[in-house]
């Protein structure tokens, strides 16, 4: 599927019905466009089955709740909408985007309780998020922006507004020839990439930042469970930047990223080693099982 995302053939599910792709539109005075009142999910369908699809639907609803924006559909109804979109577009392997937002209505200010909440689901064919880095090891910049204190934002929500600094950090990274950027949090600890969680290896044990200050990814949770089943010790903890030079391997996890090896972060280098390859292969087998 090529071309601009607003000019394609296909169907999108929008507020309870399938509509032509080009007709899935909102008004310019939609509240979400002005005040970031929007939440979303990114999911992958493998061989006709969305991996952890119901968990993603539940998280979408929870993200809406955290933004004081209750969704008008149940998780089961959102699951059915995603399946309808895949079938309508003839996809068996695809990226699925379910999202919700405050629409236009009688309110056009910070407060928008009277504006309805809309929900839509779209899907498209999408390959590796990091291109060749999926196999060669991604190169990451270190972002100048910091992940903010969760007392200032709903850090557990997958909310559109939280990705503003991600877009800026990724643009800056790409301008330097990097695939992505690593964020530190507001206290200076290692946090995550712009759209993926991060893992490190040291002396055969796994270290990953404690996910209480940013989104605890569904893929992250899946990989931690997989590692523990394999007998690895997994440390979820605060990681300082000066520890980066002591780690031998590194990878990213996320629905879009899947399991992507990291070869470099700033001036720090990592091998695409056996543990990373094993995790990547095991995850690939799991999502297609």
- CA–CA distances in Å: residue 286 to residues 28, 49, 80, 281: 42, 12, 23, 9
Which phi and psi (to 5°) does residue 133 adopt? -65, -20
Report the half-sphere exposure of 211 (CA within 13 A, side-chain side). 19
Q: Where are the beta strands (DSSP E) in 71-164?
A: 94-102, 117-124, 138-147
Contact residues for 212 (Cβ-Cβ < 8 A; gap 6+): 150, 155
Strand, helix or coil for residue 118: strand
Which phi and psi (to 5°) does residue 55 adopt? -60, -40
Contact residues for 283 (Cβ-Cβ < 8 A; gap 6+): 219, 222, 223, 226, 258, 259
Strand, helix or coil for residue 110: coil
Look up residue 209 and give its two tokens. 């930042």
- The order of strands in the sheet holding 11-14 is 17-20, 11-14, 117-124, 94-102, 38-46, 49-50
Among 49, 158, 202, 228, the one annotated catalytic: 158
d(CA 289, CA 284): 9
| Active site annotation includes 176 | no
Q: Which positions are catalytic?
A: 158
């Amino acid at each position: 599927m090529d071309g601009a995302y607003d000019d394609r053939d296909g169907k999108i599910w929008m507020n309870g019905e399938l509509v032509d792709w080009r007709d899935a539109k909102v008004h310019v005075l939609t509240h979400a466009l002005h005040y970031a009142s929007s939440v979303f999910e990114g999911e992958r369908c493998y061989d006709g089955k969305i991996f952890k699809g119901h968990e993603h639907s539940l998280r979408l609803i929870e993200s809406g709740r955290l933004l004081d924006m209750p969704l008008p559909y149940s998780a089961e109804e959102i699951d059915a909408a995603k399946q309808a979109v895949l079938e309508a577009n003839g996809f068996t392997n695809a990226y699925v985007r379910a999202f919700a937002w405050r629409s236009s209505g009688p309110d056009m200010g910070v407060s928008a309780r009277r504006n309805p909440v809309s929900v839509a689901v779209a899907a498209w064919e999408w390959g590796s998020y990091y291109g060749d880095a999926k196999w060669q090891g991604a190169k990451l910049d270190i972002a100048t922006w910091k992940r903010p204190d969760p007392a200032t934002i709903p850090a557990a929500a997958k909310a559109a507004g939280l990705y503003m600094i991600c877009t800026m950090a990724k643009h800056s990274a790409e301008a330097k020839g990097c695939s992505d950027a690593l964020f530190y949090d507001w206290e200076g600890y290692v946090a995550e990439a712009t759209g993926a969680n991060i893992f490190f290896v040291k002396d055969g044990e796994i270290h990953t930042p404690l996910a209480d200050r940013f989104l605890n990814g569904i893929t992250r949770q899946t990989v931690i469970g997989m590692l523990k089943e394999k007998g690895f010790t997994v440390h979820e903890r605060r990681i300082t930047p000066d520890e980066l030079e002591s780690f031998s391997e590194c990878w990213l996890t996320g629905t879009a990223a899947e399991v992507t090896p990291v070869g470099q972060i700033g001036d720090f280098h990592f091998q695409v080693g056996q543990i990373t390859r094993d995790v990547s292969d095991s995850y690939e087998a799991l999502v297609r099982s």
